[in-house]
Amino acid sequence: MEDGRAVELRGDPDHPLTSGGLCAKVNSYLEDRLYSPDRVLHPLRRTGPKGAGEFERVSWDEALDAITSRLRRVISESGSEAVLPYSYMGTQGMVNGMSMDRRFFALLGASRLERTICGDTGQAGYAATMGTSMGIDPEEIVHSRLILLWGTNTVTTNLHLWPLVLRAQRENGAKVVVIDPVRTRTADRADQHVQPMPGTDAALALGMMHVIVDEALFDEEYVEQHTLGFEELRERLLDYPPGRVARLTGLGEQEIVDLARDYATIRPSLIRSLVGMEHRANGAMTFRAIACLPALTGAWRDRGGGLTGLVGGFMRSSLRMDRLSMPELEDLSLREINMMQLGRALTDATMDPPVRALFVYSSNPATTAPAQNLIREGLARADLFTVVHEQFLTDTAHYADYVLPATTQAEQLDLMYSWGHAYLALNQPAVQPQGEAVSNSELFRRLAERLGLDHPALRESDEEIIRSVLDSEHPYLDGITFERLASTGWMKLRLPEDPRPYADGGFPTPSGRVEFVSASMASLGLDPLPAYEPAGESVASDPDLGERFPLALISAKHGLHFLNSSYGGSSRHVAREKGPWLDISTADAELRSISDGDLVVAYNDRGRIELRARVNDRVRRGVVSTPSGWWGSANATGQSVNALTPDGVTTLGRGGDFHDALVEVARVAPDLSSGPGDP
C-alpha cells in the first residue's frame, strides 16, 4: 500500500502450502480487477433493449427504490416464489457468498436455488460408499509412492499441490499417473498418462478391481473387517474383465491390468480426484466406484494412502456453518429450482408462479450455466425484472434492468475457506470500496431495510458473522480465533496428528464400513453396487444421435489464465489464452478436411460456436476439447461452449450432466448457415 492505494500484490512466503506463489489468474489482479477502467462503480439502469448492454448511471436511492418497488409488485401479484435468486462462487468467501443473501431471500420467501453445479455429485458418490467425501489432508501426498491424479489437471487448477507431488517423486520415488481423456499440462509432466474415453472412468475402476480380486491382490483382512458386501462385489466384477473394459474405455487390455497391479502393490497409493468426472449423468456412480479401490487394497492403512478430493468437508464439519445462512429461517415447503435448469425456469410457460424477478450475484449464468441459448431466451423476456450485482458488465449483466456495483476481495471483509487445503484465511479489506461499490452482505442489508424486513439476522455485521462461525468447540478449531486470524492472516485447521483417518475402519456409514453394497442407493431405486452407466447423450446410448453428432465434447478447465468466467472478461487474459480454440485429433481433422489453425464450427441441436482448430493428439479420436470460461461475447456467434451443453440433473447429488455433450465439427465455409445444427 502507498498513500491508501494498493500498488503490489504478492503471495505470503511464510504460507506452508503456497510459499508465496500466485497463479497466473491473479498476478495482475490490481490492474485487471480492482483498478480496472471497465469496472462497474455506480448503479446503472438499462436504457436500451435487453442484451444490448446500454445503461445510464443512477443514484443508489433511485436504484433501491425502483428495485424494492418492483419486488413488492411482483410479490403482491404473483407471490414471493415469483422471485428467484441466482448465485454461486463468484466470491469464495463465506460471508459474501452464503450468509446475508441466504437470510434475505429466506425471509422474503423467494424460490429456493439448488446450488449444486460443482462438487455435490462427486461428494454424493463418495458418501454412498464411505459415508463421507472426506479423505486425507492433501498435504499428506508427500508420503505417497503411487499417485493417481484422476480427473484433475493439477498443474493448472491446483497449482500449489504440484510441488508436493514433485516432492513425493523426489523423496519417495513416487510414480505419478494421470487419468484424463485429455493430455493436459499435468499429463505432460506425469510418469504415465492413462487416456480413457470420456465418461468411462467407472468402467476403468471396475476393471481394475476385477484384476485386483482375480489375482488376489486385495487386502483380505481389511476387506473382512472394514467393508460390507464383498461377495456381491466379486460377483459384479465378473461383468468387467479387462477385455470388456478395454472396449468400453478405449484403453489397452494390458494397460488396464498393469495399472491395477501397480495400484495394488505400490504402497502407499493415493487417489487424488477433483470435480472433472462428476459433471455427467453417471458422475456419482463414477466416484462411488473409485471410492471402493482404497478399501479393497487396504490403502487407508498407510500414511499417504487412501484418497483425497475436495477438502471443504474439514471446514464444514468444524465451523458453525449454520450461523451463515441460518437454515432455520428457510421455509422448506417453498419450491426449489436447480441452478443447472435456469433456462427452463425462465421459459417454462407452465411454471406457477412464473419467475418474474431474477436477482443474480456472484455468478454469470449467461456464460457459465448449461443450455445457454435457453437461458438467454429467458433473460430477454420483456416481463422479467432482472437485477445483477457485479464488478463488470458480464454477458448476464447485459440483460439486466439494473446493475449494481460490487466490491472485490481487496475491498471487503470475509472468512475464506478452501476446497484444496485445510487453511482458513481472514480476508481483510486493503482499500476503501472504489466508487459506490458495496459488498454482497451490505447490499442485502440495504435491500432488507428498504423492504421493511426487520429481523435481527439481517442486521449482523460481517465481523459478527465471522465470529459466530468461528465460535465452535470442534477440535479442528482449537485456538483459531478472529483475533489470531486478524494477526496472522491464515491458520491451518487442527487436524488429527495421526493422518490415517480410516486405518482401523470407522467409516461414517450406517454399517461403519465401506459399503460395496449400499442400502442408501437401493432405497433411492439405484443400483446398490458400483456399475458403469454410459451417458444418456453418447454414441453408445443413442446411435442415431451419435451418427449426427459423433464427437464427445469436453469443456473443462484447461485454460491457464482463466479457469472460469470470473477471468474470461479480462482483455489481458483473453489475449494470453489466444483463443477460443478446439483440440481435435489428427484422424478426426483429416476426415473433415480441417487443418491446424482453421476456423471451425462446433455444433449440435442446442447451438453452435466458432473456434480455431488445434490439430494434435492431445485428444483421442472421437473426442474434442475446448476450455470453459470464455464469454459468449468473445465469440463470433455470440455463444460460448455452454450453448452446446445439456442441462440434465443427476439423480444423486443433483449436479449437472453438461459434460455429456455430443457435437459435430466442420470447417467454416464462406456461406456458413447461422442456424444451430447446420454447418
pLDDT in tens, 411-444: 999 999 888 899 999 999 999 999 999 999 999 9
- At 156-168, the pLDDT tens digits run 888 899 999 999 9
Distance CA 270, CA 172 (A): 13
Helix spans in 501-612 (H): 519-523, 543-548, 571-577, 586-591
Q: What is the pLDDT of residue 574?
A: 79
Whether 278 contacts 289, CB under 8 Å: no
Of 196, 160, 158, give the one whose Cα is nearest residue 178. Answer: 196
* Model pLDDT, residue 575: 79
The grid coordinates of residue 46 equal: 438499462
SS3 category, 544: helix
Angle between helices 440-451 and 100-108 (to 10 degrees): 30
CA distance 503 to 303: 9
What are the structural domains of the chain? 36-115+320-416+423-492 (3.40.50.740), 121-306+501-523 (3.40.228.10), 543-667 (2.40.40.20)
pLDDT tens sequence across 89-130: 998 899 999 999 999 999 999 999 999 999 999 999 999 999
The structure's pTM equals 0.95
Q: How many Å apart are CA 422 and CA 262, to the nearest integer?
A: 29
Tell me phi and psi for residue 179, to 5 degrees: -110, 110
In one-letter notation, the amino acid at residue 273 is S
Angle at Cα 282 formed by Cα 278 and Cα 288, nearest 5°?
75
Q: What is the mean pLDDT of residues 186-212?
A: 97
Residue with cell 423492504: 451
d(CA 570, CA 30) in angstroms, rounded, equals 12
Which of these, 491, 415, 418, lies nearest to 16 by C-alpha position? 491
- Residue 675's pLDDT band (cuts 50, 70, 90): very low
10 contact partners, CB below 8 Å, separation of at least 6: 20, 22
C-alpha cell at position 395:
454477458
Cα-trace Rg, the chain: 25
pLDDT of 643 reads 96
Paired strand residues for 388: 360, 403
Query: Which of the pair, 579 or 625, is modelled with greater confidence?
Result: 625
Beta carbons of 80 and 451 less than 8 angstroms apart: no
pLDDT at residue 669 greater than cutoff 80: no
C-alpha cell at 284: 456419482
Tens digit of each residue's pLDDT (9 = 90 or more) over 25-47: 888 999 999 999 999 999 999 99
Rounded-to-integer distance, Cα 138 and Cα 271, Å: 10
Q: Which three cell numbers stand for residue 373?
A: 441459448
Please state, rounded to an integer, the average pLDDT across all residues of the chain.
94
Between 303 and 676, whose confidence is greater?
303
Check pLDDT > 90 for residue 183: yes
DSSP letters for 66-125: HHHHHHHHHHHHH-GGGEEEEE-SSS-BHHHHHTHHHHHHHHHTPPEEE--SSSHHHHHH
What percentage of the chain carries pLDDT values higher than 90? 87
Residue 357 sits at φ, ψ, to 5 deg, of: -135, 125
Sheet containing strand 414-416, strands side by side: 414-416, 423-427, 490-492
User: How far apart are the C-alpha atoms of 208 and 282, rounded to whole Å?
Assistant: 18
- For the stretch 393-417, pLDDT in tens is 999 999 999 999 999 999 999 999 8
Q: Report the pLDDT value the prediction gives residue 538, as an integer from 0 to 100.
A: 87
